[in-house]
Chain A
Amino acid sequence: MKFAVLVFPGSNCDIDMYHAIKDELGEEVEYVWHDATDLSGFDGILVPGGFSYGDYLRCGAMANQSNVMAEVKKCAEAGKPVLGVCNGFQILTEAGLLPGALLRNQNLKFMCRTVELKVENNNTLFTNQYEQGQTINIPIAHGEGNYYCDDETLAKLKENNQIVFTYSGENPNGSLVDIAGIINERGNVLGMMPHPERAVHELLGSDDGLALFKSIVKQWRESHVS
């Protein structure tokens, strides 16, 4: 399986993402610059964290206008897995690939620590290697991870089991109903504030994030390799 790690001016988790795939998952991966106009050679798209365009105007707003995002939308429409982490999640909401928006943390602080997450839905292509209800330790590092959407959207997220991860200990950012990660209705676009790519080896403090990437590969192999 071949992954693309998108790189915008100001991305800073792209290298972690690249090495998580290459060294720990053992799959093919390439960096793709934001002005790329073709992602057809890739099976999965990873939108990493950071501060694309300095977070100017709004987090993810300007990254959403780049050439590569038109291609990401095509990939999402084609059913390819698209994962957005942290700033990547913000970009995917700005792009309209995921509902809602990420607001400033309620306590106005940049939160950087490992948190406990609960797997709310293990029946997705990103979470099939977790147990339903499993708690996992994954680091967060963000100032604007306070998930918000209107009541109607929230009701829909609940109804369709689109809330994939919640904060199971304290809610670090004021996120609506403790949301840490959501998936689109079709089930191939996941956005999450915590960083699974920073939790892929015991030496990093946790390897709980690796199962997320293994889930993607498992699903892909089942549908592409006989």
Chain B
Amino acid sequence: MTKVKIYVTLRESVLDPQGSAVKGSLGKIGYNEVEDVRIGKYLEVTIGETDRDIDTIVKEMCEKLLTNTVIEDYRFEVEEAN
């Protein structure tokens, strides 16, 4: 069994209104040193026995469904589990 941690973030060129709102709130409670907040998604995908290359299939999943590469970037970490 393999556990994959996938991090999805909005591309830098894309405005993040959620992040801006959260930055405003952090400022309101005194964290004026905060310069930027970007909100993304975190996915954990557990993969069972397979002959296929894990990196290849995770990349495929990300491109086909898990992310929209018009607006999002992603990176992932592969962890061997028991």
Contacts and interface: CB of A to CB of B under 8 A. Distances in A.
B63 to A, nearest CB: 12
Contact of A65 (B15, B21, B65, B68): B65
Contacts of A106: 15, 17
Interface residues of B, number: 11
B14 interface: yes
A65 B27 CA distance: 41
Interface residues of A, number: 21
User: Chain B interface secondary structure, helix, strand, loop or mixed?
Assistant: loop
A133 B65 CA distance: 38
B17 A58 contact: no
A57 B15 CA distance: 19
B71 interface: yes
Contacts of B21: 108
B17 A107 contact: yes
A171 to B, nearest CB: 13
A101 B17 contact: no
Contacts, number: 36
B17 A108 contact: yes
B46 interface: no
Given A57-B65, A61-B65, A105 B70 contact: no
A108 B68 contact: no
Nearest to A59: B68
Contact of A148 (B18, B66, B71): B71
B76 to A, nearest CB: 16
B17 A174 contact: yes
A150 B71 CA distance: 9
Contact of A104 (B13, B18, B68, B70): B18
Interface of B: 13-15, 17-18, 21, 65-66, 68, 70-71
Given A61-B68, A174-B17, 10 more contacts: A57-B66, A65-B65, A99-B70, A101-B70, A106-B15, A107-B17, A108-B17, A148-B14, A149-B70, A150-B70
